[in-house]
Amino acid sequence: MRHGARQRARQREKQASRGEPAGDSIPGARVTACTEGTGPTARAPLGHLPPPAPTCHLPCVPFRECVCGSGASAAASRAPGRGWCPHAACRPCVPSLLQEARQQLSADHRDKVETLDIDRGCLSLSLTSPNITLKVDPTRVPDGSSTLQQWDGFSQLNRSRAEAEMKAAVELREAMALTIAQTNNELEAQRVATEFTFRKRLREMERVYGELRWQEKNTLEEISELQEDIRHLEDDLRRKFQNLKLCHTRLESRTRRPNVELCQDQAQHGLTDEVHQLEATIAALKHKLAQAQDALDALQRHLARLQADLACKASSMLLDAKCMDTRRKLAAPAATFAPQKSCTTRTTRPWPGPSCSPCWPRRPSTRWTWLTGEGARRGGGGQSRGSACWDPLPPQDTDALGAAGTGPWGPRTPCPDGHPFHRAPGSRLPAPGSPRFAQEYKKEPDRGYGAGVITVFKKLLSPKCRDVFEPARAQFNGKGSYGNGGAMRVAGISLAYSSVQDVQKFARLSAQLTHASSLGYNGAILQALAVHLALQGESSSEHFLEQLLGHMEELESDAQSVSDARELGMEERPYSSRLKKIGALLEQDSVTREEVVSELGNGIAAFESVPTAIYCFLRCMEPDPEIPSAFNSLQRTLIYSISLGGDTDTIATMAGAIAGAYYGMEQVPESWQQSCEGYEETDVLAQNLHRLFQKSP
C-alpha cells in the first residue's frame, strides 16, 4: 500500500519537473471539453472547480442549444445547466451525463477507500513497529495538496452533481413518459379517425349499393312488363294479319261474280275500308313494336351497367372490410397505450378489503359492471356500493397521484388501516369506474360511440386527468352534452338500488361522467326512475306517469336545470312538460306515429328520446291493431319503438329496459335471448344484481 503511494508521489514529481499538470492528483478535477474542440483545458484550482461540462459528439455545441434548433425540453431544462433534445443527433449526450457522474463518484470513492486504508495503517503503527524509519523532509507539502475546506467542497460537489443528474434523469423520464403518452393519444386519435372514415365510407357504399339494388329490381320489373307488352303487341299483330287475310280472301272471291253481278256494292266498299283500316293498324302496331324493342334494348343495357356497378361496389366494400379487419388485427392492445406505473414511484399499497371497516361497504358489494363491462369483472379496481373508499384506478395506478395527501377528487384522510383514497367527509365522489369505462371503449372502439363521448374517453385516459368530470364539462364550449347516451346505459342502477334517492344519486353520477348538461343527466335520472317504477310493478299508466311527474318536477326546479333549458329556448321543465304530453296522447283513441314524433321527438337528445321510450312502453301495454296479436307486450314495445324511426336503437333500448323490468324474462323469446351478444354473461350479471336488489332494505 505504501509502495503504491510512493510510486504515485514519484510520478507527480516527474510531471512537475516536466511542467505537466498533475491531473491525477485528485480524480475528477479535470474539466471535460468537446471531443472535437480545442482540446483538454488545464486543471483548475481545486477550490474553484466548475461543474464538468457534458461531453457532446457535436463540435463545440453547448448542450442546452442543440443543432436541431429545438432547444431543451421543459422538464429536463429545470436541472441546472442541463438540457435535453429529443432528436437522434443529440440523444447520445443524455446517457453520458449519468455515466460521467457515476465514473467520477466511483473514482472519488476508490480514492477515499485507499485513503482510509493508508490512515488505518498509520493508526496501527507504534513505537515498536519494525518498519518505522526517518524520512527526508517529511513535513513538506506535496504538490496537489488541498485544504480541508477544498476537500469537503470537492466531495460535496461530486455528491450534489450526482444528485442533480439523478433528478434531471427522473424529470427526463417523466418527460419521455408524457411524450410517449401524448404520441400514443395522437396515434390513437388518428386510428379512430381513420376507422371512422372507413366506417363512414362503408355506410355510404352500403347506401349506394342498396340504391343500386333497388334500381336493379325496378329495372328488372320494367323489363318484365315491357316483354309482356311486346308479347301482347305481337299477338295483336298476328290477329290483325289474320283479319287482313280474311278481307283479302273475301275481296278476291267477290271478283269472280258473273256479268252484271260484279257490282261495287256496299259490301265491296265495306271490305275495302276494312282492308285500309287493318293496314293502318298493322303499321301502327309495327311501329309500337319497334319502339318497345328499342326500349327493351335500352333497359337491358342499363341493367348491364347497374350489375357491373353493383359488382364494383361489392368488391370495394369487401376490400374496405378486409382493410378494417387487417387494421383491427394490427392495432396494439389497450394496455400499451398508457403507462401502468409512475416513472418515479414504484412502491405498492395495500388494497382495501373486508378488514377495513370504515372503507368496506356496509351492504353486499357489487362492481359497477353495467358501466365497465367485462374488464372490471376480470380484474380488481373499481369501487363498491355504500363504500367510503372511492378509487376508480387499478391498484398499481394509485401511486401515480403521489403521496402529498391530495387526490383527484379532493383531500384524502388517512384510512385507519392504511388504505389509499379514504374519502374525507364532504369531499367529492368520483364517477363510477370512469377509467375502466374508457378502457372498455379502447378495447372495441367500433361500437358506434358518439364523437363527443370518444373525446371524453381520451381525456379520461390521459395521465393529466385529475377530475373525471372535467372532460364532460368541457364539451360544447363548457355547456356539456345533453345526448341520450347516459340514459341508455343507466338501467342497471335501478337493479342495484331499491330507494328512489339512491337511484337518482347514482344515475346522476353515471350520466355526468359523459353528459354534463342537466338536460342530459336529468334524462338519465328519468329513465332510471322509469325502470325503478317498472320493477315495483306499477299497475296503471296513470299512476306510473304521476309518480314520474312528481319526481321530475322536483328535479327540474333547481337553478341549473332552469338555466340550461332557457339557454336552449325551451320551457323551464322540458321533461315534466313531455310527461304531461304523454298523458294527453294516451287519452286519445287514435294517435299516428307522425303525431308522436311531432310531440315527443325521436332524436339523439335525451329530452327527444327518453319520454318517447316511456310512451312506447305505456302505449304497448294494450294490444295495437297495427301489430300482429302473436307478439306479446314486450315485443310490441320494441316493434313500435323501431317503427317511430329516428334514433331507433337508443329509443328501443330504453323502452325495452322499462318493459323488461315490468314484464320480466318470461316475455323475452328464447330465440331473441340466444341471438343477443354476451347473453350468458349478461344473464349471470342480472342474477347477481337481482340478488343484491332483493337484499337491499
**Is there a binding annotation on residue 281?**
no
Same domain, 516 and 617: yes
CA distances 81 to 59, 630, 660, Å, are 18, 82, 68
Q: Which residues contact 525 (CB under 8 A, 6 or more apart)?
A: 490, 503, 504, 507, 508, 511, 551, 552, 555
Alpha carbon distance 565, 157 (integer Å):
66
pLDDT for 570: 83
What's the domain range around 245?
171-254+266-331
pLDDT for 332: 54
Alpha carbon distance 505, 493 (integer Å):
10
Same domain, 377 and 520: no
Same domain, 277 and 313: yes
**Is there a binding annotation on residue 325?**
no
Alpha carbon distance 413, 423 (integer Å):
7
> Which helix (H) or strand (E) covers residue 410, if one does?
strand 410-411
Residue 651 lies in a domain: yes
Closest CA to 512 of 408, 597, 429, 416: 429
Same domain, 579 and 646: yes
Residue 1 lies in a domain: no
Same domain, 529 and 462: no
Alpha carbon distance 358, 362 (integer Å):
9
Q: C-alpha cell of 336?
A: 400499451
Same domain, 324 and 404: no
Residue 610 lies in a domain: yes
**Is there a binding annotation on residue 502?**
no
Closest CA to 475 of 521, 516, 432, 445: 516
Q: CA angle 219-220-226, nearest 5°?
A: 85
> Which helix (H) or strand (E) covers residue 411, if one does?
strand 410-411
- Over the Cα atoms of the chain, what is R_g? 44
Read off the CATH number of the domain in which 187 is found: 1.10.287
DSSP label at residue 439: H
Same domain, 491 and 466: no
Same domain, 428 and 366: yes
Same domain, 302 and 384: no
Domain end, chosen from 309, 331, 353, is at: 331
Domain end, chosen from 451, 473, 495, is at: 473
pLDDT for 614: 93
Same domain, 299 and 429: no
Residue 322 lies in a domain: yes
CA distances 419 to 150, 343, 352, 354, 388, Å, are 49, 22, 6, 12, 11
Q: C-alpha cell of 287?
A: 311501329
DSSP label at residue 406: E
pLDDT for 99: 87
Same domain, 451 and 520: no
Residue 106 lies in a domain: no
pLDDT for 73: 40
DSSP string, 532-577: HHHHHT---HHHHHHHHHHHHHHHTTSHHHHHHHHHTT--S-HHHH
Coil, strand or helix: which one is 156?
helix
pLDDT for 616: 92
Ranges of the chain with pLDDT below 50: 1-3, 19-84, 86-92, 334-432
Q: CA angle 108-110-111, nearest 5°?
A: 65
Our count of domains for the chain comes to 3
Same domain, 404 and 553: no
pLDDT for 8: 57
Residue 7 lies in a domain: no
Residue 529 lies in a domain: yes
What pTM was estimated for this model as a whole?
Answer: 0.41
pLDDT for 80: 39
Alpha carbon distance 515, 452 (integer Å):
9
Residue 132 lies in a domain: no
Coil, strand or helix: which one is 407?
strand
Domain end, chosen from 331, 347, 382, is at: 331
